[in-house]
Amino acid sequence: KTATEVVEEPPKMTFAKEVLLEEAKKSLSQSKNVSLVVIGHVDAGKSTLMGRLLYELGRLDEKTRTANERGSSKIGKSSFSWAWNLDGTLEERERGITMDIATRSLSTPKRNITVLDAPGHKDFVPNMISGASQADCALLVVDASMGEFEAGFERGGQTREHLILVRSLGVSQVIVAINKLDQVNWDRIRYDDIVSQLKPFLLQSGFQASNTNFVPIGAMLGVNLVNREDEEASLLNAWYHGPTLVDLLDTLVPPTRNLMAPLRIPISNVFKGQSAGTAVTGRVCGGVVQVGERLRVLPGDETAIVKSIEVEEQDVPWVAAGSNATLYLTSIDPVHLNVGTVLCPPDNVVPLASSFKARIIVFDIVIPITAGASIELFHHSRDVSAAVSKLLATRDRANGKILKISPRMLSKGMSADVEITIRSLSQNAPPRAIPLETFAVNKDMGRVLLRRNGETVAAGVSPTYNV
């Protein structure tokens, strides 16, 4: 054999640990970056809004828009021309894969916003969970047309479920865009009525009034997104003098960063077999990581070296907690990298657990939860089949005091301590352990959601382990 394999040297680290932390602190104190998940009932106008907003903010040039309009009218859905721009992003087409969540970035005058677009169909809630678990803020889009707001808001509609979900995943700021007001002739009474129905629900779901804002818009016509100067805005201008959608986006508060915590990156997407190494994406849930660092890949015994880092399509030397990033990894066989895998420092790894205690709040369910109930457990970017193995106690929702030890079942609205056990892959297989850090140690890593038959039944936090 004459051919010699060219082994590429992995990159070296640039910064000493303390210097890196200082760099990160300095640059994050001036950060304008927030991530936003777009939620709402199917057909509320989420894609239309985001497409139009990108255009208004100058990201989409006139040529692309005309091409999109032609492309979409050809297949007979011309009103979808704005949405066309968002569905099937360049990235998806180039990589030849379909991503669970489309991510785009928007620049408003004061913020750089990473948009995580969540599909509104019922079956897509799991994708929305992975979007929302990476988001700092939510943009809820509701359809103001007669009957449509009601359909989205009643039981079975996605408006309520999405709001409860994002709140339980830690999102505390929400902007509510009341869309399609052109359909009701920009009627102020209709707008006020929708606001007055949503407000109490938001408070009840745990959002603070000061962190919720409402704005009347017309996504299709581009009314009140960036300004209200167009002819189409005249009816709205007669009664509305508040902020535009972009004014509100500008006031979103960047998250406080968990810089001092150990590095945690739960992987939400893997792109295998790229020439540049294997690319993984995920939200940095703690700490800082730089190019050249060796990271442990959990579960398992493998490590990988960070070859390069991208944030918002730009190469960067390091990335810190609170950002969504793409990491190119070398010195690892891609079979070890999966959705739900956690990257962490080799000397400070995430504990693995196959069984743990969680404090949950039970959603609006019809069939109560009993001990042994099968569930699908959602935890950061991962979902696994599990069981509610023990019902330990019910608690008072207001003060947390124990109401009843070993309850027989849990029903709607209850707060409870339960034990959750991950199911093994087959009957004789050993118990499966997943990387799980408690909420007290890392808020982003300790949240859990429980689903059953495609419906979210409870949300909670993992307070302690049962080892």
Contact positions toward ligand GDP, by CB under 6 A?
40, 42-48, 79-80, 83, 120, 179-180, 182-183, 218-220
CB of residue 200 vs ligand GDP: minimum separation in angstroms?
24
Give least dist CB 183 to ligand GDP, A: 5
Q: Which is nearer to ligand GDP, 180 or 296 (CB)?
A: 180
| Closest separation in Å from C-beta 35 to ligand GDP | 19
Q: Which is nearer to ligand GDP, 141 or 164 (CB)?
A: 141
Least distance (Å) from ligand GDP to the CB of residue 428? 45
Mutual angle of helices 125-132 and 158-168, in 10-degree steps? 40
Q: Which is nearer to ligand GDP, 230 or 315 (CB)?
A: 230
Please report where in the chains the tokens 């929400």 appear, as a residue.
174
- Token digits for 92? 């998806």
CB closer to ligand GDP, 118 vs 459: 118
Joined tokens for residue 82: 């704005």
Alpha-carbon span 428 to 157, nearest angstrom: 41
Which tokens is 460 given?
Answer: 């909670």
What secondary structure, in 3-state letters, does the chain show? CCCCCCCCCCCCCCCCHHHHHHHHHHHHHCCCEEEEEEECCCCCCHHHHHHHHHHHCCCCCHHHHHHHHHHHHHCCCHHHHHHHHHCCCHHHHHHCCCCCCEEEEEECCCCEEEEEECCCCHHHHHHHHHHHCCCCEEEEEEECCCCHHHHHHCCCCHHHHHHHHHHHCCCCEEEEEEECHHHHCCCHHHHHHHHHHHHHHHHHCCCCHHHEEEEECECCCCECCCCCCCHHHHHHHCCCCCCCHHHHHHCCCCCCCCCCCCCEEEEEEEEEEECCEEEEEEECCECEEECCCEEEEECCCCEEEEEEEEECCEEECEEECCCEEEEEEECCCHHHCCCCCEEECCCCCCCEECEEEEEEEECCCCCCEECCEEEEEEECCEEEEEEEEEEEEEECCCCCCEEEECCCEECCCCEEEEEEEECCCCCCCCCCCEECCCCCCCCCCCEEEEEECCEEEEEEEEEEECC
Supply the minimum distance, in Å, between the C-beta of residue 121 and ligand GDP: 8
Residue 219 beta carbon to ligand GDP: minimum distance, rounded to whole angstroms: 4
User: By C-beta, is 227 or 406 nearer to ligand GDP?
Assistant: 227
Q: Name which of 42 and 441 has its Cβ closer to ligand GDP.
A: 42
Q: Which is nearer to ligand GDP, 43 or 250 (CB)?
A: 43
Reported residue count of the chain is 467
The span from the CA of 350 to the CA of 340, in Å, is 13
Nearer to ligand GDP, 156 or 431 (CB): 156
- What's the closest the beta carbon of residue 169 comes to ligand GDP, in angstroms? 20
Rounded to a whole number, what is the distance in angstroms from the first to the last CA of the chain? 52
Smallest distance from the beta carbon of 342 to ligand GDP, in angstroms?
A: 32
Nearer to ligand GDP, 120 or 255 (CB): 120
Q: Which is nearer to ligand GDP, 124 or 201 (CB)?
A: 124
Residue 115: CB minimum distance to ligand GDP, A: 13
Structure tokens at 131: 């979007």
- The nearest distance, CB 393 to ligand GDP, in angstroms, is 41
Q: Of the two residues 177 and 280, which places its CB atom closer to ligand GDP in the complex?
A: 177
Provide the minimum distance between the beta carbon of 311 and ligand GDP in the complex, in angstroms, as a whole number.
26
Cα 270 to Cα 255: distance, rounded to the nearest angstrom: 26
**Toward ligand GDP, which CB reaches closer, 85 or 462?**
85
Question: Could you give the CA distance from residue 180 to residue 190 in angstroms, rounded to a whole number?
Answer: 11
Residue 466 CB, nearest distance to ligand GDP (Å)?
Answer: 42
**Pairing mode of beta strands 455-465, 382-395:** unpaired
